[in-house]
């Protein structure tokens, strides 16, 4: 018994028997703490707990407790596994300490992945060479010499290709764009969806444009996403010489401000650029909305220009003819207002037919309508405004209905009206409608009831939306 206590292997065995569980418990607690905090060192600690600590305990048990010679194959195998795990732990620790925890905008965050891959390859090659040299006694000097000579020969042979790759990698290190940015190159315009050591992949409207990094490094390109929140698109249009420039600029600016893609924190602007051309700068929330914003803007100004009596592309609007207005009165206005023949003929002279494009705002909440509109075709959606600025649909109006009746009481409307598809309306100015209702008190009472009913509809829609949000 005395020989057992005096033997060195006994203390090593006892130390490993108690030290291994205690080390596992300590590392487990550290691992759980890192999991709760989403720490960058979670993976290195996991490798240390699950692999390295048990292997070191096994190696010490073989060498010190069992007294197995170091040159034995079993010892060398375990030592090789432990050294390999140390190498993996070192790579994981460097990555976590230097790059995963790097602050945004630092050089560590901008480091291209290809550089990290090369660094990992060099460390792995050196580590494996040291494992074979010190554990297995292999001669690796000749191997490194051969690799050095081969690298020089390959570098001289492929110096042009390697130069392009290096220039592309240096461009990536500068990181003039990141995934999700929109860039415009001489070849294409699109969103960056992938960047690797050879090329940048752009998602365009016609497919995937693959541009070599060396091309981007040697040419100029535009990052449309930087600075953030400053992207604008420009639309050039032509009007007739007789159209007043101020009216044209005002109409184009108002149409641009109504676009759903327009940045609400910045205002669009329109300026004449000479001749009959005008340029509208539309601030957008994102470069991704550039094409859609331009298409919607051009569609809306086609309708807005005709309503304003302006001549987009020097074209006259011959849609609202007296014959068509008279026919529309017989169809929708006469039955709603219960017009007599003499009233019909008098009102036709002051009315006109207007058209709105899909999604256009026909009536803005908080404004007093300048007249009444009778829906000739299409559907109008009435929206109520909530306190947070959002909107909720209150009801829809189809052919034969009307809106803008609060023009008689000079009250601002509570909701906004939007065209669903193309909508054609018969427009009557306020003075014309006022003269009509003065001669017809019953019509005034009926319009008054309609105003109150629609006001209740708007308030009810707001209350219902508020109740849903609370629930």
Instruction: Tell me what percent of the residues of the chain surpass a pLDDT of 90.
Output: 26
Which residues have C-beta within 8 Å of that of residue 363, sequence separation ≥ 6? Answer: 369, 403, 404, 413, 415, 416, 417
Check whether 314 has a pLDDT greater than 50: yes
| Predicted local confidence at residue 435, as pLDDT | 87
| Predicted local confidence at residue 300, as pLDDT | 96
Choose the final residue of a domain: 241, 274, 307.
Answer: 307
Check whether 339 has a pLDDT greater than 60: yes
The total number of structural domains in the chain stands at 4
Residue 199 and residue 242 in one domain? no
**Range scoring the smallest mean pLDDT among 3-17, 282-296, 393-407:** 3-17
Mean pLDDT of 131-154: 68
Check whether 325 has a pLDDT greater than 80: yes
Residue 344 and residue 292 in one domain? no
Task: Specify the CATH number for the domain of residue 444.
Answer: 2.60.120.10
Q: Does residue 171 belong to any structural domain of this protein?
A: no
Burial class (CB in 10 A: 0-12, 13-18, 19+), 100: middle
Q: Does residue 140 belong to any structural domain of this protein?
A: no
Q: Does residue 447 belong to any structural domain of this protein?
A: yes
Residue 298 and residue 432 in one domain? no
Choose the final residue of a domain: 84, 111, 138.
Answer: 111
Collapsing DSSP states into helix, strand and coil, what is residue 57? Answer: helix
Distance (Å, rounded) from C-alpha 155 to C-alpha 161? Answer: 9
Check whether 192 has a pLDDT greater than 80: yes
Mean pLDDT of 291-296: 93
The arrangement of strands across the sheet holding 232-238 comes to 232-238, 277-283, 269-274
Residue 360 and residue 451 in one domain? yes
Residue 374 and residue 453 in one domain? yes
Q: Does residue 169 belong to any structural domain of this protein?
A: no
Q: Does residue 170 belong to any structural domain of this protein?
A: no
Residue 194 and residue 99 in one domain? no
Residue 217 and residue 245 in one domain? no
Q: Does residue 45 belong to any structural domain of this protein?
A: yes
| Predicted local confidence at residue 243, as pLDDT | 94
Q: What is the mean pLDDT of the chain?
A: 82
What's the angle, vertex CA 129, arms to CA 127 and CA 134, rounded to 5? Answer: 95
Task: Specify the CATH number for the domain of residue 281.
Answer: 3.30.70
Task: Specify the CATH number for the domain of residue 180.
Answer: 2.30.30.60
Residue 275 and residue 329 in one domain? no
Check whether 380 has a pLDDT greater than 90: yes
Mean pLDDT of 322-334: 88
Instruction: Tell me what percent of the residues of the chain surpass a pLDDT of 70.
Output: 85
Mean pLDDT of 294-323: 92
Choose the final residue of a domain: 96, 111, 126.
Answer: 111
| Predicted local confidence at residue 469, as pLDDT | 46
Specify the pairing of strand 269-274 against strand 415-429: unpaired
Check whether 455 has a pLDDT greater than 90: no
Helices (H), 228-349: 245-257, 290-307, 322-328, 334-337, 341-348
Check whether 468 has a pLDDT greater than 50: no
Q: Does residue 316 belong to any structural domain of this protein?
A: no
Residue 456 and residue 338 in one domain? yes
Check whether 187 has a pLDDT greater than 50: yes
Q: Which two tokens stand for residue 235?
A: 């639309």
pLDDT in tens, 101-118: 666 656 556 565 666 677
Q: Does residue 386 belong to any structural domain of this protein?
A: yes
Q: Which two tokens stand for residue 284?
A: 């957008």
Check whether 92 has a pLDDT greater than 70: yes
Residue 415 and residue 342 in one domain? yes
Most confident of 113-117, 285-289, 457-461: 285-289
471 — pLDDT class (breaks 50, 70, 90):
very low
Domain that holds residue 257: 232-307
* Between 101 and 331, the higher pLDDT residue: 331
Residue 327 and residue 466 in one domain? yes
pLDDT in tens, 44-74: 888 888 888 888 888 888 877 777 887 888 8
Place of tokens 């190696």: 59
Residue 338 and residue 411 in one domain? yes
């Amino acid at each position: 018994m005395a020989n057992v206590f005096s033997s060195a292997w006994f203390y090593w065995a006892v130390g490993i028997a108690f030290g291994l569980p205690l080390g596992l418990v300590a590392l487990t607690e550290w691992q759980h703490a890192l999991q709760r905090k989403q720490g960058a060192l979670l993976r290195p600690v996991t490798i240390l707990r699950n692999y390295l600590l048990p292997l070191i305990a096994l190696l010490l048990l073989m060498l010190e407790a069992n007294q197995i010679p170091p040159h034995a194959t079993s010892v060398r195998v375990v030592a090789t596994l432990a050294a390999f795990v140390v190498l993996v732990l070192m790579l994981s620790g460097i990555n976590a300490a230097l790059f995963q925890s790097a602050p945004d905008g630092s050089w560590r965050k901008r480091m291209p992945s290809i550089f990290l891959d090369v660094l990992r390859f060099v460390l792995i090659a050196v580590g494996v060479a040291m494992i074979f040299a010190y554990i297995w006694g292999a001669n690796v000097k000749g191997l490194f010499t051969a690799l050095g000579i081969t690298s020089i020969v390959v570098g001289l042979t492929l110096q042009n290709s390697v130069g392009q790759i290096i220039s592309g990698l240096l461009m990536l290190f500068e990181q003039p764009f990141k995934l999700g940015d929109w860039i415009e190159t001489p070849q294409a315009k699109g969103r960056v969806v992938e960047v690797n050591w050879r090329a940048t992949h752009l998602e365009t409207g016609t497919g995937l444009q693959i541009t070599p990094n060396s091309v981007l490094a040697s040419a100029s390109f535009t990052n449309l996403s930087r600075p953030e929140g400053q992207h604008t698109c420009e639309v050039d249009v032509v009007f007739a010489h007789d159209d007043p420039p101020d009216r044209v600029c005002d109409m184009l600016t108002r149409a641009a401000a109504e676009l759903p893609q327009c940045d609400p924190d910045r205002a669009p602007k329109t300026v004449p650029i000479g001749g009959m051309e005008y340029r509208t700068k539309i601030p957008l929330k994102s470069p991704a909305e550039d094409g859609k914003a331009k298409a919607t803007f051009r569609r809306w100004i086609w309708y807005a220009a005709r309503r304003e009596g302006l001549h987009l592309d020097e074209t006259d609007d011959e849609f609202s003819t007296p014959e068509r207005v008279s026919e529309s009165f017989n169809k929708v206005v006469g039955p709603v207002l219960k017009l007599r023949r003499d009233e019909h003929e008098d009102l036709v002279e002051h009315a006109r037919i207007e058209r709105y494009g899909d999604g256009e705002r026909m009536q803005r909440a908080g404004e007093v309508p300048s007249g009444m509109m009778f829906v000739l075709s299409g559907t109008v959606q009435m929206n109520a405004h909530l306190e947070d600025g959002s909107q909720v649909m209150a009801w829809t109006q189809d052919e034969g209905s009307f809106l803008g009746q609060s023009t008689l009481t000079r009250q601002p409307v509570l909701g906004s009206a939007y065209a669903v598809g193309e909508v054609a309306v018969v427009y009557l100015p306020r003075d014309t409608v006022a003269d009509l209702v003065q001669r017809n008190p019953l019509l005034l009472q009926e319009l008054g009831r309609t105003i109150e009913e629609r006001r209740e509809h708007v308030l009810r829609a707001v209350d219902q939306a508020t109740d849903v949000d609370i629930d």
